[in-house]
Amino acid sequence: MVEIVHTLAAILILWLIWRSLWHLVWRPYAVAGWFERQGIRGPPYRFVLGSLWEMKQMLIAERGKTPLDIGSHDYTSRVSPFFHKWAADYGKTFLYWLGPTPTIYSTDLELVKQVLEDRTELFQKDYLNPSLERIFGKGLLTTNGDDWKRHRRVVYPIFYHENLKVVATRTSVSAMTRESTQKMIAQWCNLIEKGDGHQAEIDMGCYAEELTLGVIERVIFGAHYKEAREGFAEGKEIQKLAVRAFADPQIPGLRYLPTRRNFQAWKLDRSITSKTTRLIKERLASGVDGDDLIGLMLRASKSEEVESLSSDEMISECKTIFAAGQDTGATLLTWGMFLLTIYPEWQERLREEVLRECRDDDGDAPYINSIQALGKLKLLNMFLLETLRLYSPLPFLLRKTASDTTLANIKFRKGTMITIPVMMLHRSKEIWGLDADEFNPMRFEKGVLGAANNTYAMLAFSCGPRGCPGRNYTMIEVQTVMTMILRRFSFSLSSQYVHMPRNFISLAPRYGLPLIALGVVRSPLLNDGTMMPQLDNRSDFPWQSPSQEVQFRLNGSSSVFLADHTSKTWDFGIRMYVEPSVELSWMPMMGMPTC
């Protein structure tokens, strides 16, 4: 009996050794030869690590270099120096290795189109690194096949155009964004008042993250969002662990070893799962589904027409929507504000467009009661598209071949990863013209197709059937924020800013984005939407027509004293009706208008 056990153990050990050698040695070299015979070359495969060690060393070397010039948008050699070098050495399509996994990098638009247009599940989404699964879960953005179709039927309605444009309720995206932005504006006002009364330095990256977090947690959990905030904070910690683990050897079973990093990740993941499970159970016990993501999933579980999600799938979906929705919006808002500060002429153009097109009955920022209201902001939309082109939240897209196939006359083996370098395609002079590295929102004056010569040139939200379902959500969110803060503040770049973008799950400034926020002093805006001449603190107001609607922009929080001796305090924006018999002048000592 003992001999049989020893024999079986020996056979098992030999089998494990053979499988390891096949996976880590024989197969990589065989695949490399397969692609080389087709003219596809790349950096050599290294045992276990593949190209990961070389990639890590190049990134470390880049960190020691001097920062980029503020006006430089060609950061690709800093964010991915390995791709920059290998593309120069091997051409626009080459082979590299994520551990023992063969990965094809390509900027061939025909190949990109075939991958993203596929509806046969031939090119699937794959985490590759198990650490990323802890961040995103197995939700809508990362499942495949029948599971993806089932998740799509349940979750997609929250991103439907009709749901996004109904914003007259507290649960709408625009209303929730407005509320979060008002809180942020109040914080900035307090900072200015505590300082010199005119300006304050803010870290826009932190505020953008906090704001978008406040919106997405309400999209997921509705009125119970405060109870979920601690769990989301733990989710950010898992993100940090995952980034540090990305360059680890991709050895099967490594995620299950009791390392310190794994222990931390397991603990955080259990805590998030426990908190989310409790919130779902409490919602079930209340008998009220709600209009949020959890409500949609719970209603689907009661419907006979739609296949429901299990509790574990609901938790994964919450992770997925949180990670994707929060990061994308925060990244777009952060880089958008960066571009506003280095191109002040565009900051002024957008402010004038907002003041002209977005005026409500209360004189406050627009309540955006229709998608059409945002549709009027043509310049803002072009500006955001250019921001997405230059600073795409996701620098790369990854797919995995589910079977042997042929793409752009290249034969692929099953299990080959495909890297679509979004930030490289967004800078291709063949696609965007000779000014591809320059900031030029007017290129989108006739839309994306008018700006580029290919439908698949703009990939900030991906394309095709697996494109990001939250595109409209993100655009509405960021447009709403910008319309509110542009009316109240002007911005300049702090001298503390260091221009070194880095890829941390999504693209972000390595050392944050410190800005100087100032209260805006605006010219009066008349009822017909025209601007009065710019006035300083000592100017008279030269209008004569009766009951003209006038909007003031002040430095600081000020009180307005009306003719009947009543007063009201407004933060960075005052609107009133002025009769021609009322003389208005400035009190320079107090910095406010009086009647």
Instruction: Count CB-CB contacts under 10 A for residue 130.
Output: 18
The DSSP symbol for 254 reads: G
Q: Determine if residue 318 is labeled as part of a ligand binding site.
A: no
Output DSSP code: residue 25. Answer: I
Q: Which residues contact 259 (CB under 8 A, 6 or more apart)?
A: none
Cα 12 to Cα 6, 9, 32, 399, distances in angstroms: 10, 5, 29, 33
Q: By C-alpha distance, which of 81, 89, 90, 113 is closest to 424?
A: 81
Q: Report which residue type is found at 132.
A: L
Q: What is the number of alpha carbons within 13 Å of residue 233 lying toward its C-beta?
A: 6
Q: What is the DSSP letter of 26?
A: I
Q: Are 504 and 156 in contact (CB under 8 A)?
A: no
- The strand pairing partners of 445, in sequence order, are none
Distances (CA, A) of 514 to 25, 38, 335, 498, 531: 48, 49, 12, 9, 31
Percentages helix, strand, coil for the chain, rounded to the nearest 5?
50, 15, 35
Contact 498, 526 (CB under 8 A): no
Cα 63 from Cα 395, distance rounded (Å): 18
CA angle 520–523–528, rounded 5-degree value: 125
Which token pair is 146?
């029948």
Q: Which residue has the tokens 């601007």?
A: 531
Amino acid letter for position 481: V
* Placement of tokens 């690194």 in the chain: 129
CA separation for the pair 180, 556 (Å, rounded)? 20
The pair of structure tokens assigned to 385 is: 């598209």
Query: How far apart, in whole angstroms, are the C-alpha atoms of residue 535 and residue 255?
Result: 64
Q: Which two tokens stand for residue 256?
A: 């299950």
Q: Which amino acid is at 169?
A: T
Two structure tokens written together for 398 = 């990854």
CA distances from 47 to 83, 95, 100, 163, 249 (A): 20, 16, 8, 51, 10
CB 491 within 8 A of CB 185: no
DSSP conformation letters of 320-337? HHHHHHHHHHHHHHHHHH
- DSSP lists the bridge partners of residue 531 as 525
d(CA 576, CA 561): 11
Residues that constitute the known binding site for heme: 468
Which residues are part of a known binding site?
468
